[in-house]
Amino acid sequence: MPEELTIIYPTLDLFIYDLRSGLGQDSNKLNQNLKNFWQKVYNQPQYNKLGKQLDEELLGELAKAENPEASFVELLGSKQIEFFEQPLDGYYYPLQLGDTYALQVDCSGRFSDGDSQHDNQPQPISNIKLIQQEIFAHIGGKDVKGNIGQTWVMWGQLTPDIQRESSIEQVAKECYAHLTNDPNWERDFDHQGEFLTASVFEFWRPAASLDAYDDSYHLLILLFPHSFPLSIIQEQIAKAYPQLLRLFYYRHKITWAYYQSHYYKAVLKKDYVSVKKSIQKISQFSNNLDFSSNTSSQVSANQIEKVGSSENNSTLANVLPNKVNNVNSGKLKQLEQTLTHTLNILTDYAINLSGLNAQAYTIKINIGNYQKRVNQIVTKHGENDRKFLEEFSNFATERYQGEVEAESAYLSTGLTLLENLIKTIEGISNIEQTKSDRQLENLIAATGVGVGTASIIASTFPTVVQEFTRLYGIKVDKNQFPLAEPISNLLIVLLFSLGLGGLAGWGSWKIMRSRSHSNSARVRNRADNA
């Protein structure tokens, strides 16, 4: 049976990140976020050196340390860390990073005598599993995770006999196998490089979906050569921890935003289908209206999509027929319902598109922050670290940022389609209203002409009537019927004035109606030639 591999001073760190304040979260949700985070530190009184138990009083004191305007706050103040209970060699280091809680949980096993450190003798690699179990117990169980993400970092010093690359890789494989319940090197191994003079192996198992985001897994294994004194290694690691806290924070903000974008994309794509269906519905609706005989006045869905667009500056008058003979109340009601439904879609679509754009912005900003942090690490620890650290930022820029920005640009066209659809619906309604108003105006004008003509006839015709009745006198005894002649004259004037007035009004209405048809024809001809 082969001898078990050993390692010197194996140490395990868990960097865990939780959302502190999300957009639109109320005070109850913020208080719950606060409680969930601190339960990882004060899970049980026996798991911290001072035996503290999380209660409302302690939670209130801890909340006072937060600063919503700050980007970096050490939540335990000058104390900085909360030590594990003896004889464990471990601690909690809680931070506020902007809108996020960050927690580093460090453990390197047990003191040899409750006071002094290990004697730095090689230990079986299997001890790493025991250290991980201690960390799980101290944060509340292995199922407790950060809702933004988490990273495990294991480091240790190689024994003198481990020098060849193949041997170093074998140690890494053993460490990895003890730190995951479902080891699969080919699936999880991401890449290998150099960091802080150590051989570093990165393992990454991305989540399959947003719902399975907690199943993601990220692990770094740093194996330092035996030629370096352990004290120098510990000093380098201590200096690197603050940088790694921020670096992993940016990394998980990027991946978290990317998976959040999946939700917005799914909702927007569903709404996009509804938008296209509404366009087809309005196209069919407009083409079923009672237009004039000019068949070129049909409205296509493609025309609706282009109304008011930057590529086509035509107005609705160039797209829709200007002569609608009749739209019954039922169709107008249907049009109103479609408009209301479209406005609701527009509101939801705009909100979700804004959410998608916010995720794209979060990814872009944090890729920039990640790269700045890489530059700081390289400045402090050496250029050799750059290649390994930039693997993720290069991937995130090409895959995450590129994909989300492309989806955002594509789905933004849906907002334009919705706006154009609403313009089209309003245009159909306005055309019908304009038609009704124009018909009423023509009727009023024609009536006015008729009344005016009748008035003129009534004022000038009595003289003519008197001459007419003088030539053809009415054979009535004026003494017996003194009102016969005035009444007959009045009736003759009234009949002539109404007749001529009606004829003039009818003629005026025909002329104005003919002019309206001519104007509509000219509009349609311009639309056909456009």
**43-93: per-residue pLDDT in tens?**
888 777 778 888 898 899 999 999 989 999 999 999 999 999 888 889 999
Grouping H, G, I as helix, E, B as strand and the rest as coil, residue 138 is helix
Please report the beta strands in 38-148, taking only residues with DSSP state E, as ranges in sequence order: 73-74, 82-83, 88-97, 100-110, 123-124
65: CB partners within 8 A, 6+ apart: 73, 74, 75, 76, 77, 96
d(CA 285, CA 456): 49
CB of 530 within 8 A of CB of 307? no
pLDDT at 523: 43
Mean local confidence (pLDDT), 296-311: 51
Kindly report whether the peptide bond that precedes residue 87 is cis, defined as omega within 30 degrees of 0.
yes
Grouping H, G, I as helix, E, B as strand and the rest as coil, residue 28 is helix
Q: Which residue has the higher pLDDT, 214 or 14?
A: 14
pLDDT at 297: 45
The DSSP line for 361-390 is HHHHHHHHHHHHHHHHHHHHH-GGGHHHHH
- Alpha-carbon radius of gyration of the chain: 42
CB of 18 within 8 A of CB of 98? no
Q: Residue 332 pLDDT more than 80?
A: no
Please report the beta strands in 128-233, taking only residues with DSSP state E, as ranges in sequence order: 149-157, 189-195, 198-205, 217-224
478: CB partners within 8 A, 6+ apart: 484, 485
Percent of the chain with pLDDT over 70: 68
Least reliable range by pLDDT among 5-14, 290-299, 332-341: 290-299
Q: Residue 175 pLDDT more than 90?
A: yes
pLDDT at 118: 54
Instruction: Convert the pLDDT of each residue in 187-229 to its tens digit.
Output: 999 999 999 889 999 999 999 888 888 889 999 999 999 998 9
At 178, is the pLDDT very low, low, confident or very high (cuts 50, 70, 90)?
very high
pLDDT at 347: 79
At 401, is the pLDDT very low, low, confident or very high (cuts 50, 70, 90)?
very high
Instruction: Convert the pLDDT of each residue in 440-497 to its tens digit.
Output: 555 555 555 455 555 555 555 555 555 555 544 555 555 554 545 555 555 555 555 5
d(CA 400, CA 423): 35
Residue 363 neighbours by CB distance under 10 Å: 26
Q: Residue 29 pLDDT more than 60?
A: yes
H/E element holding 7?
strand 6-19
3-state SS record for 318-349: HHCCCCECCCCHHHHHHHHHHHHHHHHHHHHH
Grouping H, G, I as helix, E, B as strand and the rest as coil, residue 13 is strand
Instruction: Convert the pLDDT of each residue in 425-442 to its tens digit.
Output: 666 666 655 655 555 555
At 322, is the pLDDT very low, low, confident or very high (cuts 50, 70, 90)?
very low
pLDDT at 317: 40
At 94, is the pLDDT very low, low, confident or very high (cuts 50, 70, 90)?
very high
pLDDT at 256: 96
Q: Where are the domains of the chain?
A: 13-249, 250-290+330-458, 459-515
Q: Residue 176 pLDDT more than 60?
A: yes
Q: Residue 300 pLDDT more than 80?
A: no
The region that residue 67 occupies, defined by phi over 0 for left and psi between -120 and 50 for alpha, beta otherwise, is beta
CB of 257 within 8 A of CB of 359? yes
Angle at the Cα of 210 (from 344 to 103), degrees rounded to 5? Answer: 120
